A = this chain, B = another copy of it.
């Protein structure tokens, strides 16, 4: 999120029928060796900062393009990208809405993507995000993801998040 300078996000796809693993690497602050994977595109106008994150305001919008890898390590093999945007749409809590596609460019889901649209109450232990669409092997898929913080480095602001995806109607 906005105050996370470089977060590594682990993503697990646990289909009700089949299972896949992936990881998502998010970089807010660009460095010579790591370009930003998150860019702010719009700012809210409320002067009240959100709880737990004084740099984030109600209405802030970020576009993301994070590498997806098989596991939580930054050197884990790439399987795709997590692309979309999120909006801080709560006045009173640190919560964002994700409008996100998990785009696979390698592995068993190569050429397929899932569209997720759901609410991320960032301090919560588990966040449920519904699947709204899918393409390729995910065409017609329904289901949801459970998002969890795996680890967080308060110095580097690196984070590891996991999503367990529960999918029906996969091809």
Contacts and interface: CB of A to CB of B under 8 A. Distances in A.
Given A44-B63, A83-B95, A117-B117, 13 more contacts: A36-B46, A39-B58, A41-B43, A41-B59, A41-B60, A61-B63, A65-B89, A85-B89, A113-B119, A130-B132, A130-B135, A130-B139, A139-B144
Interface of A: 35-37, 39-46, 48, 58-61, 63-65, 81, 83-85, 87-92, 95, 97, 99, 101, 103, 113, 115, 117-119, 128-136, 139-140, 142, 144
Given A41-B61, A97-B101, A128 B139 contact: yes
Could you tell me the dominant secondary structure of chain A's interface residues? strand
Contacts of A131: 133
A130 B118 CA distance: 15
